[in-house]
Structure 1
């Protein structure tokens, strides 16, 4: 939250809180955008690891550590994506179980 916006709403009591929330929402990244960029990074890591494997197979890579690091990074990014997905689904299921 930006302090200036909050200060302006306190100083100017005529300014409604809804307009402040709209301003804050306009500045914040959307969940779908964050999700899409994160999944794109996971995909990029996977593609890079595959390229490194192919380069190792044809002898273009001299340092096997780079190939191993790329593979481990891709594996970790997939693991984190799966864990986040499981947590989101678990939270969704908990919300759906709530009784109003």
Structure 2
């Protein structure tokens, strides 16, 4: 049985290693763009879920399974995003506690 969640990209470790050194500004911009894209993805999934739920309530669609699957995808993606945020804050806090 092959179950997959769409819109979640596989992370290839070789793409995580920079080919050349970036300046601090370029690294910050790259990180900011990655975060922006991830948040936009979560937002898009939430919007699609809301639209399908509203269409089901108005009787425009009758595929309850599709609506529930879309809602679960949006929920799981949001939960993962919140957990990643917590881990990033914990890591930042830990780095700030380190003595130099």
Higher relative contact order (CA 8 A, sep 6+): 2
Gaps of at least 5 residues in structure 1 are 7-19
Gaps of at least 5 residues in structure 2 are 1-13
Alignment of 1:11-50 (within 5 A): 20-22=20-22, 30-50=30-50
Deviation for aligned residue 1:62: 2.1
Separation of aligned partners in 1, 2:48 and 2:94: 37
Alignment of 1:9-88 (within 5 A): 20-22=20-22, 30-88=30-88
- In structure 1, the partner of 2:8 is none
| Larger-gyration structure (1/2) | 1
Deviation for aligned residue 1:61: 1.2
Separation of aligned partners in 2, 1:77 and 1:61: 24
Moved more, 90-99 or 29-38: 29-38
Deviation for aligned residue 1:95: 0.2
Separation of aligned partners in 2, 1:85 and 1:21: 26
Separation of aligned partners in 1, 2:45 and 2:91: 27
CA RMSD across the alignment: 2.5
Task: Give the alignment's TM-score, normalised by structure 2.
Answer: 0.72
Task: Give the alignment's TM-score, normalised by structure 1.
Answer: 0.72
Aligned residues: 81
